[in-house]
């Protein structure tokens, strides 16, 4: 078990969260704020980012030839026009079959300790290949893909420039895509400007919302730190949920119907919400937590919060203050 999922763990982390919150509410502490981005985006030693790796990865990310149908690219579902997600309750895959889980955003996956809703991959390199070869997603035979790419002179040159002597392999495909994904990180938001000391960067509603976030609403128990996630898995009491979630991989009772805590950065753009996309709006999400979820769960933090209408609105205002400045994404030209 990589994290402490016990009840005591939650309470311990709540305490830490509330402390961190108390330090940062009202008086911003410039670079010391625990809510600001760490200086560097982490990357593995054997895949340090370079301009050519990122460029290659971007082309691969946007290239529909990475699917068996040659019609679906990573960007089809992780669409930059829709917050690097797809706006659908649950994803659509090969043959346009509707799948079971909501498409997670690519944003800040560079910082994830786990990838996918159930954490079945750790690194972006490990993650990148899985949707390509999954029959229900992009349904691409990897050996065929490698042959396809080898037949495109532009790609041969790009791979050689990015990974000299390594050739076109599942490994270099994954590394290049991961390198691009590590550039998809959140940009400065009104919330960040406030944390850096700009008092007028956000409204009073946002400030009240942030206080609720760290206090009465207990959001901070799971949504901690710059990326607003504890990198853990939680059952948040979704009614009728048939999906075992993390439990499928780790047979611990508390992980039944538990899913990875998503980032809240740019959360305004990544509707609908929850692992099955059941809520269209952030108001619905906050109300879900306010009523303590819809099923009995082990987690003591999922319990009625009794938020007023104003408090719900303040929390939503705060969540929307996490939307980063727009950073233009240019469509690559494919070789």
User: Catalytic residues, which ones?
Assistant: 137
Among 62, 114, 213, 259, binds its own copies (CB under 8 A): 62
* Strand runs labelled E in 160-266: 233-234, 259-260
Q: Which long-range contacts (CB under 8 A, 24 or more apart) does 285-292 make?
A: 286/217, 286/312, 286/315, 286/316, 286/319, 287/312, 288/236, 288/237, 288/238, 289/217, 289/218, 289/219, 289/236, 290/217, 292/237
Among 18, 25, 54, 92, binds its own copies (CB under 8 A): 92
**x/- string (CB under 8 A) for its own copies, residues 303-332?**
-----------------------x-xxxxx
Smallest gap from Cβ 73 to its own copies, in A, equals: 8
Contacts of 34 (CB under 8 A, 6+ apart): 20, 23, 24, 225, 226
**End-to-end CA separation in angstroms for the chain:** 44
Among 17, 56, 60, 86, binds its own copies (CB under 8 A): 86
87 in contact with its own copies (CB under 8 A): yes
Q: Of 144 and 166, which CB lies nearer to its own copies in the complex structure?
A: 144
Among 44, 71, 197, 300, binds its own copies (CB under 8 A): 71
Q: Of 63 and 241, which CB lies nearer to its own copies in the complex structure?
A: 63
Structure tokens at 66: 């990475």
81 in contact with its own copies (CB under 8 A): yes
Q: Of 224 and 321, which CB lies nearer to its own copies in the complex structure?
A: 321
Smallest gap from Cβ 166 to its own copies, in A, equals: 25
Segment contacting its own copies (CB under 8 A): 79-87, 125-133, 171-179, 199-207? 79-87
Kindly report the number of other CB atoms within 10 A of residue 296's CB atom: 10
Q: Under rule CB under 8 A, how many of the chain's residues touch its own copies? A: 28
DSSP H or E segment with residue 225: none
Kindly report the number of other CB atoms within 10 A of residue 60's CB atom: 28
Among 17, 21, 57, 80, binds its own copies (CB under 8 A): 80
The closest alpha carbon to 186, from 13, 50, 331, 321, belongs to 321
Among 18, 41, 88, 313, binds its own copies (CB under 8 A): 88
Q: Which residues pair with 279 in a beta bridge?
A: 273
Q: Of 15 and 95, which CB lies nearer to its own copies in the complex structure?
A: 95
Catalog residues that contact its own copies under the rule CB under 8 A.
62-65, 69-71, 76, 79-82, 86-88, 92, 94-96, 269, 326, 328-334
């Amino acid at each position: 078990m990589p994290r402490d999922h016990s009840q005591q763990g939650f309470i311990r982390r709540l305490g830490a969260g509330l402390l961190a919150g108390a330090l940062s509410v009202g008086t911003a502490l410039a670079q010391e704020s625990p809510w600001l981005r760490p200086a560097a985006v982490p990357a593995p030693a054997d895949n340090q980012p370079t301009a050519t790796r990122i460029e290659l990865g971007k082309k691969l990310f946007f290239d529909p030839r990475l699917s068996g149908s040659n019609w679906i690219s990573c960007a089809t579902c992780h669409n930059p026009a829709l917050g690097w997600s797809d706006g659908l309750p649950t994803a659509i895959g090969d043959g346009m079959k509707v799948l079971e889980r909501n498409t997670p955003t690519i944003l800040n996956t560079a910082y994830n300790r786990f990838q996918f809703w159930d954490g079945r991959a750790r690194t972006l390199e490990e993650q990148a290949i899985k949707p390509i070869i999954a029959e229900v997603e992009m349904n691409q035979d990897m050996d065929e893909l490698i042959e396809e790419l080898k037949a495109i002179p532009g790609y041969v040159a790009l791979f050689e420039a990015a990974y000299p002597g390594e050739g076109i392999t599942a490994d270099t495909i994954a590394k290049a895509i991961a390198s691009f994904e590590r550039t998809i990180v959140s940009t400065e938001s009104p919330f960040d400007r406030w944390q850096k000391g700009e008092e007028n960067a956000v409204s009073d509603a946002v400030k009240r919302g942030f206080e609720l976030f760290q206090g009465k609403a207990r959001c901070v128990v799971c949504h901690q730190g710059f990326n607003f996630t504890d990198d853990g898995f939680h059952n948040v009491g979704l009614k009728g949920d048939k999906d075992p979630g993390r439990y499928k991989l780790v047979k611990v009772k508390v992980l039944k119907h538990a899913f990875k805590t998503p980032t809240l950065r740019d959360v305004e753009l990544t509707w609908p919400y929850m692992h099955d996309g059941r809520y269209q709006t952030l108001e619905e999400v906050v109300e879900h937590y306010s009523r303590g979820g819809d099923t009995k769960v082990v987690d003591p933090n999922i319990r009625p919060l009794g938020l007023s209408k104003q408090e719900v609105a303040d929390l939503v205002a705060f969540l929307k203050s996490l939307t980063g400045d727009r950073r233009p994404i240019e469509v690559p030209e494919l070789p």
